[in-house]
Amino acid sequence: MNCHDVSTILDDRRERQLTAAERCAIDEHLATCADCDLAWRAHAALLEQPIPPAPPGLLAAAFAMIAGDAPAPRRVSSRVVLGGAILAAGAALAAVTYVTLPERSIDEIAPVAGPAGPATIPATADSSEEPSQPVAAPAGGAARSPQGGSRLPDSLVLPLLRLAPIYPKAAREENLEGDVMLEFTITDHGSVEDAVVVDSTDPVFDAAAMVALSRWKYLPRVVNGRSVAQEGVRTVIRFVLQGGPAPVADENASERPPEPTRGIDFDTFEGLIEPAFECLAAQELRCAELVLDEIMATYEVGEHAVVIWEFYGYIFTQYGDYGRAIAAYQSAIDHGGLTQQVSLAHLYFERHQYDMALRTLLDYSERIETLGGRLSPGVLEFIERLRVLGISEDVL
């Protein structure tokens, strides 16, 4: 047994299938060879790490690094060829970058409700956590499965359409506030199904939270060009009373007001956009795009413009047309959209515009802070990964 043999066993990950004789020979070698002993220990330590998810595209940069190049623009076509591998391996790099992260907590933005109005606004923090994991745990399951073709953020699941829950009368009368955590499946056409209350500070809120969530719409996850259902997604709906008339300081407020003051109301808009989701379910992106075109041409969509632009951004991203996708997300942001900045950052990342990605994320985090919220784990992780790649505010 020599250094080369030991190295080969580790390279082939055969260390657990050794015969007793081999194991003996290795121990003998390790006792006399400090380098091999270190290598053996490092290998074992690495394999013990859990594997959390990573955004797709990260590995393109990793490959470039291994090959000795600086992360440089690559042609989209070359990434497409590598698609499956990149996405599956995306989990790997994150696996180890994850351990460099500090303790994380769930996204939190305190919403408020006026004393007179019936509605409060849900603050949401969705993550595709495995059902068994606690709230603050990393999104473990989602990105381990192959996600070829998806270029959307996979550690952050945000609803496209949110209906604010009705504040339960009994709770309002008792000045009771609370949170409800729900777990559910996002179907391949973006609807919410199989919702269950996982945790709740008071059962009085459960029904209201369930009713509101059942009307929410998500843009479905796309795997290998097909939209697929996503199980085990969690969100927290928060019920908060506000003593006096206060400005609505919530992520929602700037992009998806529950009760639009002009244009069309939620129910009407929901009806209009439903066909677009049906197109998605049928894998007909072009059809969905036409539905959006028609809505834009026919209606005064008002505050719902953010939703439309986000939807456009999603479609263009699936086309691989990043230029138009970026423009669409930018329009959503211009209309007051906030979370679209995360999608935008992912697109910049895909295009290897790391500085723009980081700039966008930092801008986003500033806005979240201004609103009195906290960054979601997915975003913190993204920023951390950009830093691991050597991009920091200093170079901006």
The count of residues interacting with other proteins (CB under 8 A) is: 42
Nearest distance from C-beta of residue 60 to other proteins, angstroms = 10
| C-alpha torsion 265→251→338→282, nearest 10 | -50
Nearest distance from C-beta of residue 210 to other proteins, angstroms = 38
Position 49 contacts other proteins (CB under 8 A): yes
For 62-66, the CB contacts below 8 A with 24+ separation are 62/89, 62/93
- Using CA atoms, how far apart are residues 76 and 82, in angstroms rounded to an integer? 10
Position 72 contacts other proteins (CB under 8 A): no
Position 291 contacts other proteins (CB under 8 A): no
Answer whether 304's CB lies under 8 Å from 334's CB. no
Positions in 375-394 near other proteins (CB under 8 A): 388-390
Residues near 131 by beta carbon (within 8 Å), at least 6 away in sequence: 183, 231, 232
| 14 vs 169, beta carbon nearer other proteins | 14
CA distances to 71, 353, 382, 393, 394 from 387, in Å:
13, 14, 9, 9, 10
| 12 vs 300, beta carbon nearer other proteins | 12
| 21 vs 67, beta carbon nearer other proteins | 67
| 51 vs 135, beta carbon nearer other proteins | 51
175 bridge partner residues: none
| 85 vs 396, beta carbon nearer other proteins | 85
| 13 vs 169, beta carbon nearer other proteins | 13
Stretch that binds other proteins, among 89-97, 106-114, 266-274, 345-353 (CB under 8 A): 89-97
Nearest distance from C-beta of residue 104 to other proteins, angstroms = 14
Q: Which of 45, 72, 116, 297 binds other proteins (CB under 8 A)?
A: 45
Stretch that binds other proteins, among 46-54, 146-154, 249-257, 272-280 (CB under 8 A): 46-54
Q: Which of 18, 24, 31, 38 binds other proteins (CB under 8 A)?
A: 38
Nearest distance from C-beta of residue 85 to other proteins, angstroms = 6
Answer whether 158's CB lies under 8 Å from 127's CB. no
Answer whether 2's CB lies under 8 Å from 26's CB. no
Q: Which of 18, 24, 31, 47 binds other proteins (CB under 8 A)?
A: 47
Instruction: Read off φ and ψ for residue 164, nearest 5 degrees.
Output: -70, 140
| 31 vs 85, beta carbon nearer other proteins | 85
Q: Which of 20, 21, 66, 72 binds other proteins (CB under 8 A)?
A: 66
Position 362 contacts other proteins (CB under 8 A): no
Answer whether 181's CB lies under 8 Å from 201's CB. no
Structure tokens at 199: 């945790």
Nearest distance from C-beta of residue 237 to other proteins, angstroms = 34
Positions in the binding site for other proteins (CB under 8 A): 3, 7-8, 10-13, 35, 37-43, 45-47, 49, 51, 59, 62-63, 65-68, 82, 85, 88-89, 91-93, 95-97, 99-100, 388-390
